[in-house]
Amino acid sequence: MACARQPDHGTPARDGAPVTLTIDGARVTVPAGTSVMRAASEAGISIPKLCATDSLEAFGSCRLCLVEIEGRKGTPASCTTPVADGMVVATRTDRLASLRRGVMELYISDHPLDCLTCAANGDCELQDMAGVVGLRAVRYGMDGANHLAAEKDASNPYFTFDPSKCIVCSRCVRACEETQGTFALTIDGRGFASTVAAGMAEAFMDSECVSCGACVQACPTATLMEKSVIEKGLPEHVVETTCAYCGVGCSFRAEMQGTEVVRMVPSKDGGANEGHSCVKGRFAWGYATHADRVTTPLIRERITDPWRAVSWEEAIAFTARRFRDIQARHGRGAVGGITSSRCTNEEVFAVQKMIRAGFGVNNVDTCARVCHSPTGYGLKQTFGTSAGTQDFKSVESADVVMVIGANPTDGHPVFASRLKKRLRQGARLIVVDPRRIDLVRGPHVQADFHLQLRPGANVAFINAMAHVVVTEGLADRAFMAERCEDMDAWEAFIAEPRHAPEAVEEITGIPGADLRAAARMFATGGNAAIYYGLGVTEHSQGSTMVMGMANLAMATGNIGRPGVGVNPLRGQNNVQGSCDMGSFPHEFTGYRHVSDDTVRAQFETLWRADLDPEPGLRIPNMFDSAVAGTFKGLFVQGEDVAQSDPNTRHVHAALGALECLVVQDLFLNETAAFAHVFLPGTSFLEKDGTFTNAERRINRVRPALAPVPGKHEWQVACELATAMGYPMSYGSAAEIMDEIAALTPTFAGVSFERLDRLGSVQWPCNDAAPAGTPVMHVDGFVRGKGRFMVTEFVATEERASRFFPLILTTGRILTQYNVGAQTRRTENSRWHAEDLLDIHPHDAEQRGIRDGDRVSLASRMGATTLRARLSDRMPQGVVYTTFHHPVTGANVVTTDYSDWATNCPEYKVTAVQVALSNQPATPAEPAGAPAAE
Q: Given candidates 77, 218, 398, 431, which one binds ligand SF4 under the rule CB under 6 A?
A: 218
The interface partner of residue 246, options being ligand FES, ligand SF4, none and the CB cut-off 5 to 8 Å by kind, is ligand SF4
In the list 9, 28, 41, 49, the residue contacting ligand FES (rule: CB under 6 A) is 49
Tell me: does residue 499 bind ligand FES (CB under 6 A). Answer: no
Binding-site partner at residue 49 among ligand FES, ligand SF4, none, CB < 5 to 8 Å by type: ligand FES
Cα distance between the two ends of the chain: 42
User: Would you count residue 445 as binding ligand SF4 (CB under 6 A)?
Assistant: no
Q: Taking CB under 6 A as the criterion, which residues in 313-372 touch ligand SF4? A: none
Cβ closer to ligand SF4: 475 or 575? Answer: 575
CA distance to 135, 355, 632, 657, 916, per residue, from 328 (Å): 81, 16, 11, 18, 53
The one of ligand SF4, ligand FES, none whose footprint includes residue 185, by CB under 5 to 8 A per kind, is ligand SF4
String marking each residue 63-102 x if it binds ligand FES according to CB under 6 A:
xxx-----------x-x-----------------------
Q: Are strands 445-446 and 449-451 parallel, antiparallel or unpaired?
A: unpaired
The yes or no reply on residue 527 touching ligand SF4 (CB under 6 A) is no
- Confirm if 79 and 34 have CB atoms less than 8 A apart: no
User: Which one of the spans 54-62, 286-294, 676-684, 719-727 is the region binding ligand FES (CB under 6 A)?
Assistant: 54-62
56 scored as a contact of ligand FES (CB under 6 A): no
Among the residue ranges 60-68, 460-468, 548-556, 680-688, the one whose residues contact ligand FES (CB under 6 A): 60-68
Q: Does 61 bind ligand FES (CB under 6 A)?
A: yes
Burial (CB count <10 Å: 0-12, 13-18, 19+), residue 24: middle
| Residue 571 touches which member of ligand SF4, ligand FES, none, C-beta under 5-8 Å by kind | none
64 binds, among ligand FES, ligand SF4, none (CB under 5 to 8 A by kind): ligand FES
Contact at 8 Å (CB) between 59 and 79? yes
Cβ at position 572, least distance to ligand SF4 in Å: 10
CB of residue 64 vs ligand FES: minimum separation in angstroms? 5
Q: Which is nearer to ligand SF4, 244 or 863 (CB)?
A: 244
H-assigned helices in 267-412: 279-283, 312-330, 345-353, 373-382, 408-411
Per-residue contact string for residues 619-648; x = within reach of ligand FES by CB under 6 A: ------------------------------
Considering only the stretches 62-70, 201-209, 281-289, 757-765, report the one whose residues sit in contact with ligand FES under the rule CB under 6 A: 62-70
Binding flag, residue 224, ligand SF4 (CB under 6 A): yes
Burial degree of 415 (CB within 10 A; 0-12, 13-18, 19+): buried
Whether residue 266 has a cis bond before it, omega within 30° of 0: no
For ligand SF4, the closer of residues 412 and 908 by Cβ is 412
Residue 616 CA to residue 586 CA, distance in Å, equals 6
CA distance 503 to 497: 7
Euclidean distance between CA atoms 590 and 766, whole angstroms: 13
Residue among 58, 167, 666, 718 that touches ligand SF4 (CB under 6 A): 167
Residue 211 interacts with ligand SF4 (CB under 6 A)? yes
One-letter identity of residue 711: K
Determine the residue type at 555. Answer: A
Distance of CA 65 to the CA centre of its chain: 38
Instruction: Tell which residue, 427, 432, 435, 463, has the closest CA to residue 449.
Output: 432
- DSSP summary character for residue 804: S
- Cα separation, 758 vs 866, in Å, equals 48
To the nearest whole angstrom, how small is the minimum distance from the Cβ of residue 419 to ligand SF4?
12
Q: Does 298 bind ligand SF4 (CB under 6 A)?
A: no
The distance of closest approach from Cβ of residue 130 to ligand SF4 in the complex, given in angstroms and rounded to an integer, is: 14
**Residue 322 in contact with residue 632, Cβ under 8 Å?**
no
Binders of ligand SF4 in range 401-440 (CB under 6 A): 413-414
Q: Please identify which residue in 169, 400, 717, 789 interacts with ligand SF4, judged by CB under 6 A.
A: 169
| Residue 213 touching ligand SF4 (CB under 6 A) | yes
Q: What is the DSSP letter of 745?
A: G
Which does residue 219 bind out of ligand FES, ligand SF4, none, counting CB within 5 to 8 angstroms by kind?
Answer: ligand SF4
**Min dist. Cβ of residue 26 to ligand FES (A):** 20
Residue 811 contacts residue 410 (beta carbons within 8 Å): yes
What is the bridge-based pairing of β-strands 18-23 and 88-90? parallel
Return the residues of window 227-246 that contact ligand SF4 according to CB under 6 A.
243, 245-246
Q: Are 657 and 645 in contact (CB under 8 A)?
A: no
Whether 529 and 517 have beta carbons less than 8 Å apart is answered as no
Using alpha carbons only, give the angle 298, 303, 308 rounded to the nearest 5 degrees: 25
Quick check: 62 binds ligand FES (CB under 6 A)?
yes
Give dist(CA 367, CA 590) in Å, integer. Answer: 17
Residue count at the site for ligand SF4 (CB under 6 A)?
40
Nearest approach, Cβ of 78 to ligand FES (angstroms)?
Answer: 6
Complex with ligand FES: residue 77 or 457, whichever CB lies closer = 77
Q: Which of 51, 243, 748, 836 binds ligand FES (CB under 6 A)?
A: 51
Considering beta carbons, is residue 280 or 435 the nearer one to ligand SF4?
280
Of positions 39, 40, 96, 212, contacts ligand SF4 by CB under 6 A: 212
Is 221 a binding residue for ligand SF4 by CB under 6 A? The answer is yes
Q: Which is nearer to ligand FES, 69 or 77 (CB)?
A: 77
Closest by Cα among 59, 65, 66 to 168: 59
What are the φ/ψ torsions at residue 381 (nearest 5 degrees)? -60, -40
Question: Three-state DSSP class for 458?
Answer: helix
How far apart, in Å, are the Cα atoms of 794 and each of 464, 495, 804? 14, 17, 21
Q: Which amino acid is at 307?
A: W
Give the C-alpha separation, 913 to 911, whole Å: 7
CB half-sphere exposure, 429, CA atoms < 13 A:
24
Asked if 344 contacts 690 with a C-beta cutoff of 8 angstroms, the reply is: yes
**Rounded to whole angstroms, what are the CA distances from 636 to 43, 154, 155, 641, 689?**
54, 41, 40, 8, 20
Cβ–Cβ < 8 Å for 371, 535: no
Residue 210 interface partner, choices ligand FES, ligand SF4, none, CB cut-off 5-8 Å depending on type: ligand SF4
Q: Which does 52 bind (CB under 5 to 8 A by kind): ligand SF4, ligand FES, none?
A: ligand FES
- Which span (165-173, 370-378, 652-660, 897-905) binds ligand SF4, by CB under 6 A? 165-173
Distance CA 618, CA 672 (A): 20
Which member of 79, 185, 755, 861 binds ligand SF4 (CB under 6 A)? 185
898: partner contacted, choices ligand FES, ligand SF4, none (Cβ within 5-8 A by kind): none
Output the smallest distance, CB 79 to ligand FES, in A.
Answer: 3
Instruction: Output DSSP code: residue 66.
Output: B
- Segment interacting with ligand SF4, rule: CB under 6 A, options 74-82, 272-280, 628-636, 748-756: 272-280
Options 278, 348, 429, 552; binder of ligand SF4; rule CB under 6 A: 278
Which amino acid makes up residue 71?
G
What sign does the dihedral 242-244-250-254 (CA atoms) show? negative
**Size of interface with ligand FES, in residues (CB under 6 A):** 12
Query: Which of 84-111 are b and which e, b meaning 16 or more Cβ less than 10 Å from the residue's Cβ?
Result: eeebebbbeeeebeebbbebbbebbbbb
**Piece of 46-54, 89-97, 208-216, 838-846 that binds ligand FES (CB under 6 A):** 46-54
The C-alpha atoms of residue 137 and residue 143 are separated, in whole angstroms, by 15
Which residues form the interface with ligand FES (CB under 6 A)? Answer: 49-52, 60-65, 77, 79
Which residues form the interface with ligand SF4 (CB under 6 A)? Answer: 166-172, 175-176, 180, 182, 184-185, 196, 209-215, 218-221, 223-224, 243, 245-246, 248-250, 273, 277-278, 280-281, 413-414
